[in-house]
Amino acid sequence: MNVVSTSYGNDSIAMIRWCYENDIDATCVYIETGWAAETWTKRVNDCEEYATSLGFEVLTIRPEIKFKQLMIDKKGFPNQRFQWCSGLLKGIPFLNWIDDIDPDCDAVVMVGKRRVESKERKNTQPVTISDYHGCRLLVHPLFNYTDEDRDELISRTPFGVLPHRSLECSPCVNASSGDFKILSVKDIAKVEALEAEVKKTMFRPKRHNGAKGIRQVVEWAKYGHGKYNPDQDDLFDVGCGSPFGCGL
């Protein structure tokens, strides 16, 4: 049994296409975090429809615990160094599901991670045994793919290349300035409400030039108040090290 762990961003679609072109049968699994952008539901539906049309099984796991409740329970937000959200929101529900149907751990898990994506992913191995996936084989077939290689795969699907990462969490705790710039009014309001409830800011002011609270962070990202230094962008756009394929 092969499982593609997807977020239905560019890399996930490329991964699905790669499986199709290499005659690999797979189940495409998406996990709802409860923190997706409003528009993402349609994207997930479209991607599931596409994967089904290629002959793949699709599954959306809907865990009981969602992003908002987790932050309230934990009385705070994760950060890039301690991004416990991916393990709790995606890792555990995935394991619960796969352990049930694959008790002998024979399944192969595939994730569309690529080395060129970020510093965090530059050492992505093509094949490994992953503790995070119940000691199953974890394969990254696109590990050496460039953006152009990936886009070539996407060009053979009905989807265009998205100008952003997966919006399965919007915003993600690893959001870059580019992600903040495209955050919808609704998503800004949703973060603001949660920050008020948790009584903490989702993004650390220290890493965002002193911007406190989501509205200021968005302002900062848009070069507000003359404070933003574009040369610093790399510092924040370090990507996600999550083993669960967040953002792909």
Q: How far is the CB of 170 from ligand SF4 (least distance, A)?
A: 9
Calculate helix-pair angle for 10-21, 147-154, nearest 10 degrees: 70
Q: Report helix, strand or coil for 195.
A: helix
Nearest to ligand SF4 of 33, 177 (CB atom): 33
Q: Any contact of residue 242 with ligand SF4 (CB under 6 A)?
A: yes
Q: How far apart are CA 228 and CA 221, in angstroms?
A: 7
Nearest to ligand SF4 of 1, 61 (CB atom): 61
CB-CB contact of 58 with 64 (8 Å): no
Q: Any contact of residue 83 with ligand SF4 (CB under 6 A)?
A: yes
Q: Any contact of residue 174 with ligand SF4 (CB under 6 A)?
A: yes
Residue type, 119: K
Q: How far apart are CA 195 and CA 188, in angstroms?
A: 11
Site string for ligand SF4, 31-60 (x = CB under 6 A): --x---------------------------
Return the residue of 26, 109, 111, 172 that touches ligand SF4, per CB under 6 A. Answer: 172
Q: How far is the CB of 103 from ligand SF4 (least distance, A)?
A: 26
Q: Which stretch binds ligand SF4 (CB under 6 A): 19-27, 42-50, 221-229, 239-247?
A: 239-247
Q: Any contact of residue 247 with ligand SF4 (CB under 6 A)?
A: yes
Backbone angles phi, psi at 114, to 5 degrees: -130, 145
Q: How far is the CB of 71 from ligand SF4 (least distance, A)?
A: 10
CB-CB contact of 14 with 111 (8 Å): no
Residue type, 139: V
109: closest CA among 136, 89, 132? Answer: 136
Angle at 71 between CA 199 and CA 117, to 5 degrees: 115
CB burial of 89-102 (b: ≥16 within 10 Å; e: otherwise) equals bbbebbeebbeeeb
Site string for ligand SF4, 4-33 (x = CB under 6 A): -----------------------------x
Q: Any contact of residue 112 with ligand SF4 (CB under 6 A)?
A: no
28: closest CA among 37, 15, 38, 41? Answer: 15
Q: Any contact of residue 216 with ligand SF4 (CB under 6 A)?
A: no
Total of residues contacting ligand SF4 (CB under 6 A): 15
107: closest CA among 195, 5, 224? Answer: 5
Q: How far is the CB of 80 from ligand SF4 (least distance, A)?
A: 9
Q: Which stretch binds ligand SF4 (CB under 6 A): 12-20, 85-93, 179-187, 188-196?
A: 85-93
Binding site residues, ligand SF4, CB under 6 A: 33, 83, 85-86, 89-90, 168-169, 172-174, 240, 242, 246-247
